[in-house]
Amino acid sequence: MIEDGADLPPLLADVRVSELLNKELCGDYLDWLGKHIGAPSRRVTASMLAKRYGYLLVAPVLHAMTGFNKGLMLTPMQCRLISPDYSGCAAGKSSFPELAVEGLTVTVPLAGEREKWREDVLCGLFADHVAPLFKTLSECARVPMAILWENAAVRIAPPYEEEEFEDPHAAEDYVYMSSPSSASLFGEKRNPLAKFMGGAARASGIYSARPRLTCCLYYEMAPEYCRKCPKVRAASGC
């Protein structure tokens, strides 16, 4: 995350995430971003953007919640996807967008009320922010929601399953957000993360060692498959 007002090169693109909830504006942005990152279609661009957003927003919010008992409350209106012009900078800068935030609010749980506080943090993250964005991306790009949510899951699960958090609430937080009974956190009838993180998936071992269930489509913009790509597994007969 980049706080608003940070010193950056000129911007090639600057779009408020709340604007991406509008299908026409979302489509225009996906078309621009696809050309910028070298994606061949809106489907691929939307998938890559969902994975990037998992890295830029979802992972930091959950890390703050579980690792530090801090709630980072950010609405789509407070978040902007920016693409600085790094053409004159040193090599190694990503062409994928960065996240600029405005008016960040940080909350902490009151004594004995962590569960209610956690619910508020997760509802703000998923039901009020990520789920509406993913729905628009899915509609504009005709990409399955399952792909977008697994793209988020790959950013969420590893720190919990590989026990990177020292906080005693880590296991409880992970079970809570991945449980089928927690669908309300996402404003849905079903928890979209459950099949990727919960139940049998969690019992099958460390997340980073498990193949994906869906393909993120990265192979369509690069001469390689992701290490966990299900297409590779299917082709090998494993």
Q: What structural domains and CATH numbers belong to the chain? A: 14-84+95-207 (1.10.510)
Q: What's phi and psi for 210, nearest 5 deg?
A: -90, 135
Whole-angstrom distance, CA of residue 212 vs CA of residue 226: 10
- How many C-beta neighbours within 10 Å does residue 89 have? 10
**Strand, coil or helix: 2:** strand
pLDDT at residue number 238: 45
Whole-angstrom distance, CA of residue 167 vs CA of residue 62: 12
Whole-angstrom distance, CA of residue 118 vs CA of residue 128: 14
Whole-angstrom distance, CA of residue 63 vs CA of residue 218: 26
Tens place of pLDDT for every residue, the chain, 238 residues? Answer: 665 555 677 899 999 999 999 999 999 999 999 999 999 999 999 999 999 999 999 999 999 999 999 999 999 999 999 999 887 665 667 899 999 999 999 999 999 999 999 999 999 999 999 999 999 999 999 999 999 999 999 999 989 888 888 888 999 999 999 999 999 999 999 999 999 987 666 666 676 677 789 999 999 998 888 877 887 755 555 4
Strands 98-101 and 79-84, by their bridges, are antiparallel
pTM of the predicted model as reported, rounded to 2 decimal places: 0.91
pLDDT at residue number 230: 85
